[in-house]
Amino acid sequence: MKYAIIIPDGCSDFPVAELGDKTPLQAANIPQMDAVAAQGLVGRTDNTPAHFPAGSEVANMVLFGYDPNQYFTGRAPIEAAAQGIELGPHDWAIRCNLVSIVDQVMVDFTAGHISTEEATSLLGSLSAAVEDPRLEFAPGVSYRNLLIYRGSEGTAAPFSADTRTRAPHDLTDLPVTDDYPRGPGSDLLTELMQRSVPLFAQHEVNKARTAAGKTACSNIWLWGQGGGPSLPSFESRFGLQGVMITAVDLLRGLAALIGWDRIEVDGATGYLDTNYVGKGQAALEALDKYDVVCVHVEATDEASHEGRVDEKIKALEAIDTHVVAPVHEKLKGMGEYRLLVLPDHPTPCSTKKHTHGAVPLAICGSDISSSGQTYSEATAAQSAIEFSDGWTMMQQFIQGKW
């Protein structure tokens, strides 16, 4: 049996007035996703438990069958795994966004999608200014970076499970308040964020960006902290070897933690301009080698964060044409198979934020009967198939009878 999973990140949405009260999924021309639903079934799964943040860090862990109550320690440790950064028993990883705050309003949590080269330069200057051997700034991709706190035996780390931070993408167009971070270690995180402001204001990177009419990076934003997680491998649980195709460190890290290989695709950016064709082709080649092939596409989520309904529809249609279509076609010629299409969480364009709630899934395969449905939030809501604990869905997908 071959398995494929396609994740259009954050594609689930609310009805949009300018689309005639349709969601982007309903308005988009997605005949291939509709074919998956029609030839198989639709349902819904809740990947964002109410007591966890409604973000990709929890939602994707849940999607792959891992109960966050047992395994989730924070977002940043997952991304650290993507970079091969090992966390000792006294170490913590903290997500370090480069952001643009103007008049105390979060105008851009990506600092204008700052380049990796620019981000590395800014963080290098901040690291030199801080001169603290406990702190390591680890550049990632664009605005997505990390801060590693290296603890030591006998010295308590400043952070704990009671440390509270907030994701900058949840503050888009909103005032940033003085109450985040808070709790243990919040003074250190706040000091570092404040220290970056005057340094970045005079930095050559920002001078060049301003001269070019680009958004300047005002400071770092620290959040998503946690100690190193330990997850059992996917193969030990399901007896299958998997591979991840993504441009996002969070999914790379999750793949590393569950023992999956990763395939890097040239031109895969994690943004609207990503290489959809390349991702689809990589999946076709991977199906010859692996039991489970997962393609994650961030573009739908990025469009949502920018409130761009038109770009979200374009991204959905590109995923449908260049990923779902070729993958499904190849699977049909490989004997027994199952294909799963679903987002990790909703990201409504109207709010520009990740949201709690169930998402629609579509599954088809050689052993699944036809439902004749289309793929949307509305059809999924009418289905009797529902996973209120989303981490149980993967076992049903892999092992169950439909």
Instruction: Report the mean per-residue pLDDT for the chain.
Output: 95
Whether 366 and 234 share a structural domain: yes
Model confidence at 153, pLDDT cuts 50, 70, 90, reads confident
Residues 141 and 243 in one domain: no
Same structural domain, 17 and 120 = no
pTM, whole model, 2 decimals? 0.89
- Indicate whether 400 pLDDT > 90: no
Q: Does some domain include residue 85?
A: no
Of the residues 226, 252, 284, the one at which a domain ends = 226
Out of 119-128, 169-178, 371-380, pick the least confident: 169-178
Query: Do 268 and 358 lie in a common domain?
Result: yes
Out of 111-120, 153-162, 279-288, which region has the weakest mean confidence (pLDDT)? 153-162
- Rg of the chain over CA atoms, in angstroms? 21
Mode of pairing for the β-strands spanning 219-226 and 105-108: unpaired
Share of the chain above pLDDT 90, in %: 94
Rounded Cα distance between 224 and 49, Å, is 17
Each residue of 41-81: pLDDT tens digit? 999 999 999 999 898 999 999 999 999 999 999 999 999 99
- Residue 252: CATH number of its domain: 3.40.720.10
| 327: exposed, middle or buried (Cβ count in 10 Å: 0-12, 13-18, 19+) | buried
In a domain, 17, yes or no: yes
Q: Note the pLDDT tens digit of each residue in 225-263.
A: 999 999 999 999 999 999 999 999 999 999 999 999 999
pLDDT above 90 (res 379): yes
Indicate the range of 61-75, 170-184, 204-218 predicted with least confidence. Answer: 170-184
> 388 and 240 share a domain?
yes
Residue 114 lies in a domain: yes
Q: How far apart are the first and last CA of the chain?
A: 15
Residues 206 and 286 in one domain: no
User: Is there a domain that residue 82 lies in?
Assistant: no
Residues 241 and 359 in one domain: yes
Q: For position 53, what pLDDT does the model report? A: 87
Domain residues for the domain of 366 are 2-69+230-399
Residue type, 261: D
Q: Are residue 285 and residue 377 in the same domain, yes or no?
A: yes
Same domain, yes or no: 258 and 380: yes
Please tell me the predicted confidence (pLDDT) of residue 52.
93
212 and 114, same structural domain? yes
Band (pLDDT 50/70/90 cuts) for residue 349 is very high
Q: Is residue 79, in this structure, part of any structural domain at all?
A: no
Check pLDDT > 80 for residue 18.
yes
Is residue 192 in a domain? yes
Measured CA to CA, the distance from residue 11 to residue 298 in angstroms comes to 9
The total of structural domains in the chain comes to 2
Do 155 and 202 lie in one domain? The reply is: yes
Last residue of a domain, which of 197, 226, 255? 226
Domain for residue 86, yes or no? Answer: no
- Using H for helix, E for strand and C for coil, what is the string for the chain? CEEEEEEECCEECCCEHHHCCECHHHHCCCHHHHHHHHHCEEEEECCCCCCCCCCHHHHHHHHCCCCHHHHCCCHHHHHHHHCCCCCCCCCEEEEEEEEEEECCEEEECCCCCCCHHHHHHHHHHHHHHHCCCCEEEEEEECCEEEEEECCECCECCCCCCCCECCCHHHHECCECCCCCCECCCHHHHHHHHHHHHHHHHCCHHHHHHHHCCCCCCCEEEEEEEECCCCCCCHHHHHCCCEEEECCCHHHHHHHHHCCCEEECCCCCCCCCCCCHHHHHHHHHHHHCCCCEEEEEECHHHHHHHCCCHHHHHHHHHHHHHHHHHHHHHHHHCCCCEEEEECCCCECCCCCCCCCCCCEEEEEEECCCCCCCCCCCHHHHHCCCCEECCHHHHHHHHHHCCC
What pLDDT, on a 0 to 100 scale, did the predictor assign at position 141? 86
- Give me the pLDDT at residue 157, please: 81
- Which of 183, 209, 226 marks a domain boundary? 226
Q: Does 170 lie in the same domain as 185? A: yes
In a domain, 35, yes or no: yes
